Amino acid sequence: MAPRLDFSNWWAKDTRKGNPVVVTMENPNFSVVEIDGPDSAFRPVEKSRGKNAKQVTWVLLLKANRAVGCVAWLATVLWALLGAIKKRLIHRQGVTLASEKLGKGKLLFRVIRVFLVTALAILAFEVVAYLQGWHYFNNPSLHIPKTSDLEGVLHMVYVAWLTFRADYIAPLIQALSKFCVLLFLIQSADRMVLCLGCLWIKYKKIKPRIVGDPFKSDDLEGSGYDYPMVLVQIPMCNEKEVYEQSISAVCQLDWPKDRILIQVLDDSDDESIQWLIKAEVTKWSQRGINIIYRHRLVRTGYKAGNLKSAMGCDYVKGYEFVAIFDADFQPNPDFLKQTVPHFKDNPELGLVQARWSFVNKDENLLTRLQNINLCFHFEVEQQVNGVFLNFFGFNGTAGVWRIKALEESGGWLERTTVEDMDIAVRAHLNGWKFIFLNDVKVLCEVPESYEAYRKQQHRWHSGPMQLFRLCLPAIITSKISVCKKANMILLFFLLRKLILPFYSFTLFCIILPLTMFVPEAELPVWVICYVPVFMSFLNILPAPKSFPFIVPYLLFENTMSVTKFNAMVSGLFQLGSSYEWVVTKKAGRSSESDLLAVAEKDSKTMNQPQIYRGASESDLSELNQIKEQKEVAQVPVKKVNKIYRKELALAFLLLTASVRSLLSAQGVHFYFLLFQGVTFLLVGLDLIGEQMS
């Protein structure tokens, strides 16, 4: 018998003191208690000692209840999805097809449809081969008989397909997949470097600072700060939902009234909206605000043409800086005091960019996913590039420009739909520096519908490629350093604007489904699972409250690669859609503090008659008509959902590939393809932007 080795006493923390005491009670109704030491009665009781059969039963029932609830929730979601498919695809109730105005969009849809039909045919053939037992040919260690030894035409066709697949199709897919994986790793390394730079900025607490307090003065008669002349521009076009709150926020900027001029640049083609904006401008003008209304009869050049026309006014020559806010932006009253002083004693500084903050980021799943992307863009990309390179792309709004920098860089040009990035690139080539203020935030909106978001992303990804073609000769021949040229060409344009949508669409939407039908070119698990999840984790770091949405974020980003790839191709090859400008639809949401402030002002001025000085009787009658129009309740417009054919075709392609992965018992590939296909299906049915409960 082996000796019993018990070393527990060797490392015991306390040694037993005293002799064991046995206490016996004469009354038989009491139990016998044995005390093994002075502290044994106060030691914690083992958890397993207090359990009985009834407690275990209750625990099992609770776990079973949770499991049933989870299954019921999944069944409810699946039933709702099937109901949406039946309603929108079969019966076409309340839906319309998304228009494909250009031939390139139709061409991409045709290519995807060919892939889908081919995949369905191959899947049917693979299922027949699997049921007949021919799938053992996939094992290279087994002997494959010659076609002449086999009976039946299907046997011969299957062996011929295996040979053709291994000799011709697999090498092409392997070469393309290796190229995309290489681009994927390069882009992942770039994200890692940006995140490390952001952590270094946080650790060292690096940020642009204003020396002293320029607005603090011991002089009782006034401030010692010499307030420069600031021009504020609000470009808008048919912005009926947001014009009032943006004009109101800008008119409350804390700056001397004789040192600021507000330009409301209205490009609206709807006369009723024009009169509404005019009335709002008149209201603030009567309150002593230096504000003017400008409207162009010929709307050329979109936003760039609007800004260029406004900068051509003679009175602009007396101003030193210009602040630009889009129609849905609501700056805080101290915005100018937090941005303009950075220009003092810094003659090389051309732009001060503030960060965006979103009032509707929790409206639905789509807005939450957008918030993740934009938080990474501002806090990581723009902050790191601003600190280490003094260059980043101007966001088109919530920024202050030195007018001299705009003029020396050629002003606003109408050659692209990304006029903000265009002026930033030209200013950087002329030697101007930029700074990004991560702690200065301006409220705005993100698109709440997939249709608006899709059009916005198309413009944001086609414009940079169009600009790259136009600016490449100027970048090469500029006088900036070689490192800055390499950063602008390789990183700013190629890697982040061209390579990212290319490999994302090609790798996850084309190659991965094809590898299910061509097992010789199978992608490793770390490419489709580990690295994407890790990179999604890095993207979510600036928005830690969004961690529960890491999986939907990864799947949705792959889904959006279709739109981004299509936009990138249209911009790179100068197709018609690269010149298309669609104003992003807004909902007109305000923050809670803004709503409370407006309610307080309305309560104070409810019984006070307004006096319009300098206005004729005709103008007053028109203003009264406008007020009556605003008071009339508008008839709610029934929402019409769109059906996006490219996303639906890719959804069925990925779901088909997931079925094929079941035959080869590839678990990770199956789940990824299944979830990605469902995501494409939700987007294709326009369900991604539905309101959250």
Catalytic sites, residue numbers = 267, 420
Nearest residue to 476 via CA among 493, 489, 490: 489
Within a 10 A sphere around the Cβ of 330, how many other Cβ atoms? 24
User: Amino acid identity, residue 499?
Assistant: I
DSSP for 606-627, written as a single string: SSSPP--TT--HHHHHHHHHHH
Residue 353 and residue 359 in contact, taking contact as beta carbons nearer than 8 Å: no
Q: How far is CA 442 from the centre of its chain?
A: 17
CA distance 89 to 163: 39
Element (H, E) at 147: none
Q: How far apart are CA 428 and CA 11, in angstroms?
A: 69
Which residues, at least 6 apart from 236, have a Cβ–Cβ distance to it below 8 Å? 242, 243, 246, 264, 265, 266, 267, 268, 277, 326, 327
| Tokens found for residue 453 | 């978001």
> In degrees, to the nearest 5, what angle opens at C-alpha 296 toward C-alphas 294 and 299?
140
Token pair recorded at residue 143: 């002997």
* 687, 651 Cβ separation under 8 angstroms: no
| Residue 335 near residue 251 (C-beta atoms within 8 A) | no
How far lies 136's CA from each of 145, 256, 660, 663, in Å? 12, 82, 15, 12
Element (H, E) at 170: helix 170-204
Assign 374 to helix, strand or coil.
helix
* Gap between the terminal Cα atoms of the chain: 68
Please name every residue paired with 349 in a beta bridge, in sequence order, or none if there are none.
433
